[in-house]
Chain A
Amino acid sequence: MAMSAADIEALLKTAFPDAVITLEDLAGDNDHFAATVISEAFRGIPRVRQHQLVYAALQGRMGGELHALALQTSAP
């Protein structure tokens, strides 16, 4: 199973409306992505929490439908 870049971006945009999102399909297989998410939601919180927020936004798909998402998060 795989997710399209548009699906991922839509979920992230819903959770982080202000986010600047860069998404790269690393292997061209809709299964290995690299994402950079820049949002005010991440300001002042530890990186682990930032990534947990992103995984929560993906509603359980990470580790299942979505095999690999290399993640970088930061505040603007």
Chain B
Amino acid sequence: MDKPVFAEIQSLIDSSEVFLFMKGTPMFPQCGFSARVIQILKQAGVPFKTANVLENQEIREGIKDFSNWPTIPQLYVKGEFIGGCDIISEMYQTGELQTLLDDKGIAHAA
């Protein structure tokens, strides 16, 4: 099922190797789960871009169907959906996130 907003979502995802759909901004996250993922990305020292779904209702609803994932935040790496807060937290703790970034050739600090 393709929606008009899917093209916009895809171009956001394509705009950065690491892209996060979140509530709020990296400076002012407006949800604890989004804040947690921002904290991890900063600790990992990887460059990323974000979209604030609270500013765009179409993207906020559209991304749930696009990813087949009911909640925000949602992390994409090189166009691939990686997961939400729980998965990213678990992957960072086990080192899988760092391995994933290495495998995809994305520079990161830790």
Contacts and interface: CB of A to CB of B under 8 A. Distances in A.
Contacts of B81: 48
B90 A47 contact: yes
Contact of A47 (B64, B85, B87): B87
How many chain A residues sit at the interface, stated as a range, is 10 to 19
A55 B86 contact: no
Interface in A20-49: 47-48
Interface residue range, chain B: 10 to 19
A72 B86 CA distance: 7
B101 interface: no
Interface of A: 47-48, 51-52, 55, 60, 62-64, 68, 70-72
- In the A-B complex, the 5 residue pairs with the closest CB atoms: A63-B70, A62-B70, A63-B71, A71-B86, A48-B83
Interface of B: 33, 64, 68-71, 81-87, 90-91
